[in-house]
Structure 1
Amino acid sequence: MIVDHCWEKVVNPANNYRRLIKNKRINMPSLKEMEEDLSFADWIEVITEEPRCIYYFGPFFGVKEAQRSLPGYIEDLEQEGAKVVGFTIKMCQPRELTIGD
């Protein structure tokens, strides 16, 4: 059983900001402010069976950036002999970058 070791935001904060901007309640945060708050970041979570581990790669400031980087991370893990069984891109703040064996 794999336990989620990554704190995930339940609501996409960017959508909240868009809604508030539309209602003219706040200004959109600057890129610098978003960089300072890594809770806005997307991370790649890769699950391997051999060794049995969860790896986090990031942070990325957008799903497209993470998607472009994903094949390279998978290739690196496979070249090291890992058997990749799954991956996902999620907005989170991992507590550790490598979890498992």
Structure 2
Amino acid sequence: MIRNFGNKLGLAWWAKIETENPNTTYWYGPFLTKKSLKDNMSSFMKDLTDEGSTEIKHSLVRCKKDEPLTF
């Protein structure tokens, strides 16, 4: 898949999302463009909120990311 190829090259866009409760870091991606990542963020953020996560912070990062995607 082209997204996976872009990720292997370090060209994919990821969201790094950190929550306080639970104290967790999530990686959401990969996406080919920053716009497509932004367009899909709201549903992921809503899922975290619906699950009871609080103090949610995020940053958009262009990088190569491997497993694990949750810490």
Fold-level similarity (TM above 0.5): yes
Residue aligned with 1:46, SS: strand
1:35 to partner: Cα distance: 4.8
Q: Distance in 2 between matches of 1:35 and 1:94?
A: 10
Query: Structure 2 length normalisation: TM-score?
Result: 0.82
1:50 aligns with 2:21: yes
Q: Distance in 1 between matches of 2:63 and 2:49?
A: 24
Change (3 A) 1:70 1:84: farther
In structure 1, list runs of 5 or more residues that go unmatched.
Answer: 1-31
- Structure with higher Rg: it is 1
Of the two structures, which has the highest relative contact order with CA contacts closer than 8 Å and spacing of 6 or more?
A: 2
Aligned position for 1:94: 65
Residue aligned with 2:52, SS: coil
Query: Structure 1 length normalisation: TM-score?
Result: 0.60
Q: Distance in 2 between matches of 1:97 and 1:75?
A: 18
Residue aligned with 1:70, SS: helix
The list of structure 1 runs, each at least 4 consecutive aligned residues, that deviate by more than 3 angstroms after superposition, is: none
1:92 to partner: Cα distance: 1.6
Aligned position for 2:50: 79
Aligned position for 1:29: none
Change (3 A) 1:84 1:66: farther
1:91 to partner: Cα distance: 0.7
> Which structure has more strand as a fraction of its residues?
1
